[in-house]
């Protein structure tokens, strides 16, 4: 499964729409942007700066979560 990589220029809304399984990562960083009206247009980089979070670290964590989920899904498919 080839997931679209998350980048700093993506908006919170875009990431959450395409990858709802990463919502808990935002919460881990104290970014409760899931229900925020600004999340639709604010980029991850902008939100990270506003919350004092390293944007590169956030994006790495988000992409690690996607890779892990994708790997688990592929493993499950191969067992079926």
pLDDT tens, 30-50? 998 677 788 788 999 999 999
- Tally of residues, the chain: 80
Cβ neighbours around 17 below 10 Å, total? 10
Q: Is the dihedral of CA 48, 49, 54, 60 positive or negative?
A: positive
If you average pLDDT over every residue of the chain, what do you get?
87
* pLDDT (mean) for 5-30: 93
pLDDT at 3: 61
At 3-13, the pLDDT tens digits run 679 999 999 99
The class of domain 12-79 in CATH terms is mainly alpha
């Amino acid at each position: 499964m080839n997931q679209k990589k998350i980048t700093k220029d993506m908006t919170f809304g875009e990431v959450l729409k395409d990858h709802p399984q990463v919502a808990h990562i935002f919460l881990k960083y104290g970014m409760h942007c899931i229900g925020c009206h600004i999340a639709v247009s604010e980029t991850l980089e902008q939100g990270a700066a506003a919350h004092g979070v390293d944007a590169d670290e956030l994006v790495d964590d988000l992409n690690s979560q996607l890779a892990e989920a994708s790997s688990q899904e592929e493993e499950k498919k191969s067992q079926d």
